Structure 1
Amino acid sequence: MLHYREMVDGDLDAVAAIFAHHVTTGVATFETVPPTVDDWRRKLADVNGRGLPFLVADDGAEVVGLAYASPWRPKPAYDHTVEDTIYLAPGHTGRGIGAGLLGELLARCADAKMRQVIAVIADTGSDASAALHRKFGFTQVGRLIGVGHKHDRWIDTILMQRDLAAWNADSLATGLGAR
């Protein structure tokens, strides 16, 4: 059975390994060097220190995914806008884990009084991430052309946005709700 819960120090190695896979094998992240466990420890402390969620999906045997919200920009006027980040372990896609993580993340962002959630999605040629976000009411608000260069290719990013102001935690958890 899958559990979505707050990340703890005991999850650091698994989170680092999941993300390292995406850094080294794909273009979903523009990182080129995998963050260390200590880097993830600092990220966890920063996210939690801001009252934002940092979640993992745990299948009872291992951590199979991660999701967190981080500040969209450092300026004070952006204090109620966050960016979401979601990554799944290899072999665990297509099972609804990403949807579970995103639904829980949005509910917790709403509880934390966040108003806007921004998704910055690398255009990898797959629609999976954008489709997941559309399922939860995100709309595409922009595209940045050729802003990333990784693995010998130029990559666009898709900007998607979700307004949380009119949502309540129950509607977020189901992926439904009024705008």
Structure 2
Amino acid sequence: MKIITINKTNFSEVQSIYQDGIATGVATFETVVPDWDYWNNNHLPIGRILAIKDDQYLGWASLSATSKRKVYSGVAEVSVYVSKHFRGQKVGDFLLKKLIEISEQHNIWTLQAGIMRANTASLKLHTNNQFRVIGYKEKIGQLNGIWLDNVILERRSKTVGC
């Protein structure tokens, strides 16, 4: 596996994988895949990564700001999505480890994730990568008319902001 940067040219691959996530009903509250402009404006310029192998797009990960306030400039939210064709093949682990590495290279000391309670694979992925559960947001959003909780996790860097 290798990593390339997500850009406007390869964004259709990101959209396809994002749609796979939407279809699970446990990956996101979104019901429509965003277009490039919306996605681009809501993600940090760093940590936009797409995993590929043998010209196949396996999954993607990205970082988003949690706040515009300067004091939180070292805090970012992670997103990790894996193509339905490559789940269970350690693609998510590969992407999350790369995202952690990139975040620390750019002085990000805390990573956060909000994961639907039913998304046990993603919860396990994050806890296996030193994220800890810090709580949950009860009935934070609706999907298909059903109120759902989000489990909140964070990972504090051991090398940045110590």
Q: Under a length normalisation based on structure 2, what TM-score does the superposition of the two structures give?
A: 0.90
* Aligned-CA RMSD value: 1.9
Percent identity of paired positions between Structure 1 and Structure 2: 24
CA distance in 2, matches of 1:130, 1:155: 15
| 2:5 corresponds to 1:6 | yes
Does structure 2 conserve the Cα–Cα contact (< 8 Å) formed by 1:27 and 1:151?
no
Flag as ranges the 4+ runs of structure 1 deviating above 4 A: none
Q: Give a deviation string over 1:54-103, Cα, whole Å, max 9, x none.
A: 00111122212010111112222211100000001112111000000000
Contact 2:26 2:116 in 1 (8 A): yes
Larger helix fraction of residues: 1
CA distance in 1, matches of 2:40, 2:11: 7
1:167 aligns with 2:159: yes
* Other-structure match for 2:124: 131
Cα deviations across residues 23-71 of structure 1 (Å, max 9, x unaligned)? 344231111222124434445xx521xxx21001111222120101111
Ranges in structure 1 where 5+ consecutive residues have no aligned partner? 169-178
Contact (CA 8 Å) 1:12, 1:40: kept in 2 or not? no
* Aligned 8 A contact 2:75 2:109 in 1: yes
Match of 1:47 in 2: 44
8 Å Cα contact 1:27-1:150 kept in structure 2 = no
- Total equivalences in the alignment: 161
Q: Which runs of 5+ in 2 are unaligned?
A: none
Match of 1:62 in 2: 56
1:93-104 to 2 correspondences below 5 Å: 93-104=87-98
**Structure 1 length-normalised TM:** 0.82
- Distance in 2 (alpha carbons) for counterparts of 1:93 and 1:138: 20
3-state SS of 1:105 partner: helix
| Distance in 2, Cα, partners of 1:130 & 1:122 | 8
> Bigger CA drift: 109-118 or 144-153?
144-153
CA contact (8 A) 1:56 1:63 kept: yes
2:147 to 147, 150, 154: 154
